Amino acid sequence: MIDDGLIHEIKNKFPFIKNLKDKNKLDNFMRIIKIIKLKNGEKLLEEGDYCTDIVFVINGVVRVYKLSPEGKEITLYRLYDGETCVLNVASIMSNTPYPATAEAEQEVLVGLIPVSFYNDLFFTEPSFQQFIFNTVSTRFQEVILLIDEIVFKNVNLRLAKFILKKSAENGQKGSLEITHEKIAAELGTAREVISRILKDFEKENIVTLLRGKIIIKNEEKLKRIAEM
């Protein structure tokens, strides 16, 4: 049984516990939860694991990331005090392997509850349902923003190549007569994305933007972007 100080901390970090309709479940939660400590760099979950428990971060920071076969990493999100892991929940609900790696970034205190108790809470307790829905919503938005960031970086490179190539092809070396909308259609992205990146290029004195026309001011810098 965990001590009173930790019980108080868990209640404060996870407010849904105080709002459980069935107060017996509060006692069960504190009786069932398994507490583990992780040192900086220790793995909480690894890609390919089949999850048997739901993770609750009581204090500390856990980084969730994806590792490519070539060893490149991309951080998907971080878990902080009072949070659970949406990929952990999704893996359990779909009975599929955990698709990432969760690693402590500092000393971390984590609580684990078994799937059976998670299911009981989820299907009977509105406050717990809302906690899970909020987690899914927050993480979904974070991942969408991450995808946007990755796409924007790729579009910078593709846009630089496109401007150089098309200005040379059309015999307009040094300039290109084309609308932002047409560029977006060529590159398979949104016009707003193209306009934003071109404005960034203009601020850096790489191009000058006119109505329906792009004038290259710094070809060498544009080439460096295209080669990144």
CATH 2.60.120.10, the chain: domain bounds:
4-124
Under CATH, which number does the domain 154-226 receive? 1.10.10.10
CATH number given to 4-124:
2.60.120.10
Mean pLDDT of all residues in 97-124? 94
Q: Is the pLDDT of residue 13 over 70?
A: yes
Q: What is the reported pLDDT for 12?
A: 93
User: Where in the chain are all domains bearing CATH 1.10.10.10?
Assistant: 154-226
Q: How far is Cα 131 from Cα 122, in angstroms, rounded to an integer?
A: 9
pLDDT digits 0-9 by tens, 131-177? 999 999 998 888 887 776 566 667 888 899 889 988 887 666 788 98
Greater pLDDT, 131 or 187: 131
- Mean pLDDT taken over the chain: 89
Mean pLDDT across 93-101: 94
Mean pLDDT of 185-207: 86
Partners of 66 in the β-ladder? 74
Asked whether residue 190 carries a pLDDT value surpassing 90, the answer given is no
pTM (whole model) above 0.75: no
* pLDDT at residue 69 tops 90: no
Amino acid residing at 104: A
